A and B are shown apart, each in its own frame.
Chain A
Amino acid sequence: MAKVKARVKVPKKVAKGEIFEVKSLISHKMESGQRKHKKTGEKIPRQIINKFVCTYNGKAVFSSDWHGAVSANPYLSFHVKAVDSGSLDLAWTDDSGAVYKKTTKITVT
């Protein structure tokens, strides 16, 4: 599979206690397991990202379970309450067990 590329967008600076939006996008085919091979007619096995976890300074703040109906190149946005400056770690796990990670710095003023 092509190299998986993850993109994350967060505000440059957030005030303490402010709730900010995290937007993420990851390149992944999200093979649903419902499609059939054009020539053989066999079902193409499922290969999707099934788990997403967001950790803020070591504490899991948001997670999500995905099924076959999540679109290819999944987009996800959610919110986090700013506490301290630090790192926001996003991790996507797919059916093969591969984990794709992306870390973003958060600056709290």
Chain B
Amino acid sequence: MQSQKNKIQVSRRDILNYTSAGILAAAGISLFGSIVKADKKMTVHAVSKLAGGKEIMSGKITLELPQIAENGNTVPLSVEVDSPMTDADYVKSVHIFAEGNPEPSVASFHFTPASGVAKASVRMRLAKTQNVVAVAEMSNGSIFQATTEVKVTIGGCGG
């Protein structure tokens, strides 16, 4: 009976050890997972860094992208932010991120009141089907975000 009790104690310790090892292993897996899926997190991280703790609002941004991009090497993107573009109220910057690209940053546009409208177009590379995120920084510090999904037939980041 005594020995059995010991046995139980030992096995309990074992269980504890195994559990902690299991937690470590799970942490390892999630760490690895975060490396593999870093892009989306990188985008989220970059956006929150831009926002600097401020609330990220939706609206104001019109993100024009094709629903299906046959060639991921040149995907036309057009972004417009609704703003009066006066000295008191204008769009400072618009940042474009591609969540599924090896490097999520695509481009940043910096506007001034002399731009007239906060609208710009560019052609970008998309590695695979993914969400494209536009983040607008207004002159009063508010942050807006818009997301559009693009289906990519042939990826555009080379082998």
Contacts and interface: CB of A to CB of B under 8 A. Distances in A.
Given A35-B159, A67-B107, A69-B105, A62 B98 contact: no
Interface string A53-64: 000100111111
Contact of B103 (A34, A61, A64, A81): A34
Contacts of A62: 109-112, 114-115, 120
A36 B75 CA distance: 22
B107 A80 contact: no
Nearest to A20: B116
Contacts of B116: 19, 79-81
Contacts, number: 103
B119 interface: yes
Interface stretch (A1-9, A70-78, A90-98, A99-107): A70-78
Nearest to B112: A61
Contacts of B101: 69
A62 B94 CA distance: 12
A35 B158 contact: yes
Interface residues of B, number: 33
The A interface, classified by DSSP as helix, strand, loop or mixed, is: strand
B84 to A, nearest CB: 12
B123 A71 contact: yes
Contacts of B75: 71
A56 to B, nearest CB: 7
Contacts of A71: 73-75, 122-125, 156
Interface in B38-88: 73-75, 85
Interface string A17-31: 001000000000000
Nearest to A36: B159
B11 interface: no
A47 interface: no
Given A68-B125, A69-B105, 18 more contacts: A32-B157, A32-B158, A34-B103, A35-B157, A36-B158, A62-B110, A62-B120, A64-B110, A64-B120, A69-B101, A70-B125, A71-B73, A71-B124, A71-B156, A75-B122, A79-B116, A80-B116, A81-B116
Interface of B: 73-75, 85, 98, 101-103, 105-117, 119-126, 156-159
